[in-house]
Amino acid sequence: MAKETITFRTESKKRIALDEVAGALDRDRSFVLNQAIDNYLDIYNWQLGHIREGRRQAGKGEFVTAAAWSKAAAGRRK
């Protein structure tokens, strides 16, 4: 896959922490940044998928009952 160079600004503390992670992994800064971006995109896409599914269900009138919601909430508190 072709690679491109991008530039962005960040705080010095973040750059130092990034370099420490890269050093601990014996990798370069680009490797760590690419891993972080991949993880962010995975999470974002997972969330977006759930939002889209929720909208689809809401559009079809598929809602959880108040009783089922209360039961699930009570189970999480235990």
pLDDT digits (tens, 9 = 90+) for 7-66: 999 999 999 999 999 999 999 999 999 999 999 999 999 999 999 999 999 999 999 889
What is the spatial distance between Cα 15 and Cα 36, in angstroms, rounded to a whole number? 13
- Predicted confidence at residue 42, as pLDDT, reads 98
**Residue holding tokens 């889209």?**
52
SS3 72: helix
Going from the C-alpha of 34 to that of each of 6, 25, 76, 77, the distances in angstroms are: 11, 14, 35, 38
pLDDT value at position 29? 95
What pLDDT, on the 0 to 100 scale, is given for residue 77?
A: 73
CB 18 within 8 A of CB 31: no
Q: With contact defined as beta carbons under 8 Å apart, do 50 and 60 qualify?
A: no
Residue 78: per-residue pLDDT: 63
pLDDT value for 46: 98
Residue 76 has pLDDT above 80, yes or no: no
